[in-house]
Amino acid sequence: MNVPFRALSSEAARGLRGRLLCDEPLAAHTSWRVGGPADYFFVPSDSEDLAMFLAMLPAHVPVLWVGLGSNLLVRDGGYRGAVICTHQGLGHASPSGSSGYFAEAGVPCAKVARYSAQMGRCGAEFLSGIPGTIGGALAMNAGAYGHETWSIVKKVELIDRQGQIHESTRDAFKIGYRSVAGRGDCWFLNATFDLIPGNKEEAQGAIRTLLQTRGREQPIQERSAGSVFKNPDGDFAARLIEAAGLKGQHCGGARVSVAHANFIINDGSATALQIECLIKRIQETVAEFCGAELEREVHIVGES
């Protein structure tokens, strides 16, 4: 525990409108439902509150942003630093201009898809297949069913360690498959999406079809973190994992999903260590039997 900051937080927290907690278990905030405590866990009430928190945070304290907790494995020893939880306080979303849509970092991707379709603003339907928030989708260029987040981004706002806000366009970043470079020591605060006027019923129908497909192909009712590995060029991680005979393989309470081999399921008893061990076993086995190196999509943080 960082004692100097704990002493500071007791004074500084008086000016914050959000919730600042110490030793908060992260298992309650991740979709795998595993993970030890964070030294500090802050839920801002809005972007101004967040800016105040960052401004008073000592420079040596690491920061981790968490939305819905998908695509994230927190080790059992927890996180030595400050976790910022976005999906409660940074949840504003609204139309922008004649066809755009604005969403803060904590807004679920599925909500942007649903609400923009209701308004006849098309192009964001694929976001309904991403089990996370806009902040995470921006940070990793999340995608689903052949579409990627940054294909519809018009502009973004970022916030730095001093709580200063900066606006940028898509051209300021180097966008790749599941990667975004060029944001430096900043985090995505919100985005304005460039959509097109379209037919409301068709957009809603596309979302229903996508969700039905996702429900058939993915274990959405079980504890997972979404896709564990990136797809290699010209292939699919799930195909390689299945070809290596790993479907259904387990390490303690963690197992490879039989519905979709690129998902690891927590049966309710798994530890973060067991999930991480299974991830490594998959990588080693696929490399041995298929000659392919699987790169993690899941972000692993914290202490063992």
CATH number of the domain within which 254 lies: 3.90.78.10
| Structural domain includes residue 228 | no
Q: How many CA atoms lie within 13 A of 113 on its CB side?
A: 29
Q: What is the pLDDT of residue 187?
A: 98
Round to whole Å and give the CA distance between 115 and 101.
9
What total number of domains does the chain contain? Answer: 3
User: Do 43 and 159 reside in the same domain of the chain?
Assistant: no
| Structural domain includes residue 224 | no
| Structural domain includes residue 229 | no
CA 209 to chain centre: 23
Q: Does the pLDDT of residue 13 top 80, yes or no?
A: no
| Structural domain includes residue 100 | yes
How is 240-263 classified by DSSP, letter by letter? HHHHTT-TT-EETTEEE-SS-TT-
| Structural domain includes residue 227 | no
User: Do 246 and 273 reside in the same domain of the chain?
Assistant: yes
Q: Strands 196-197, 121-122: parallel, antiparallel or unpaired by DSSP? A: antiparallel
| Structural domain includes residue 232 | no
Of the residues 178, 214, 281, 296, which is catalytic?
178
Query: Pick from 136, 120, 131, 122: which is nearest to 85 by CA?
Result: 136
| Structural domain includes residue 16 | yes
**Domain termination residue (choose one: 85, 114, 136):** 85
- Looking at residues 219-243, what average pLDDT do you find? 96
- Looking at residues 215-241, what average pLDDT do you find? 96
Q: How many CA atoms lie within 13 A of 129 on its CB side?
A: 25
Q: How confident is the model at residue 15 (pLDDT cuts 50, 70, 90)?
A: confident
Round to whole Å and give the CA distance between 62 and 303.
13
User: Do 125 and 202 reside in the same domain of the chain?
Assistant: yes
DSSP 3-state of 123: coil
User: Do 125 and 213 reside in the same domain of the chain?
Assistant: yes
Q: What is the pLDDT of residue 25?
A: 98
User: Do 127 and 212 reside in the same domain of the chain?
Assistant: yes
DSSP 3-state of 154: strand
DSSP 3-state of 52: helix
Angle at 285 between CA 233 and CA 245, to 5 degrees: 90
User: Do 42 and 72 reside in the same domain of the chain?
Assistant: yes
Of the residues 104, 148, 157, 297, which is catalytic?
297
Tell me the per-residue pLDDT of 130-188, one tens digit each, with 9 for 90 and over.
Answer: 999 999 999 999 999 999 999 999 999 999 999 999 999 999 999 999 999 999 999 99
Q: What is the pLDDT of residue 88?
A: 86
**Domain termination residue (choose one: 29, 61, 85):** 85
Q: What is the largest CA-CA distance in the chain?
A: 57
User: Do 138 and 171 reside in the same domain of the chain?
Assistant: yes
Provide φ and ψ at 31, rounded to 5°. Answer: -70, -20
- 59 or 37: which carries more pLDDT confidence? 37
**Domain termination residue (choose one: 39, 55, 85):** 85
State the helix-helix crossing angle for 109-118 and 200-217, rounded to 10 degrees.
150
User: Do 172 and 280 reside in the same domain of the chain?
Assistant: no
Q: Does the pLDDT of residue 50 top 80, yes or no?
A: yes
| Structural domain includes residue 8 | yes
Tell me the per-residue pLDDT of 82-129, one tens digit each, with 9 for 90 and over.
Answer: 999 998 889 999 999 889 999 999 999 999 999 999 999 999 999 999
Sign for the pseudo-dihedral over CA of 179, 185, 190, 196: negative
Task: Output the domain CATH number for residue 140.
Answer: 3.30.465.10
Of the residues 116, 224, 227, 257, which is catalytic?
227
Q: Is 214 a catalytic residue?
A: no
User: Do 38 and 132 reside in the same domain of the chain?
Assistant: no
User: Do 178 and 250 reside in the same domain of the chain?
Assistant: no
Cβ atoms of 34 and 99 within 8 Å: the answer is: no
Question: Domain span at residue 55?
Answer: 3-85
Please give the single-letter amino acid code of residue 123.
G
User: Do 98 and 209 reside in the same domain of the chain?
Assistant: yes
Q: Is 80 a catalytic residue?
A: no
Q: How many residues does the chain have?
A: 304
Q: Does the pLDDT of residue 3 top 60, yes or no?
A: no
Cβ atoms of 47 and 189 within 8 Å: the answer is: yes
User: Do 191 and 213 reside in the same domain of the chain?
Assistant: yes
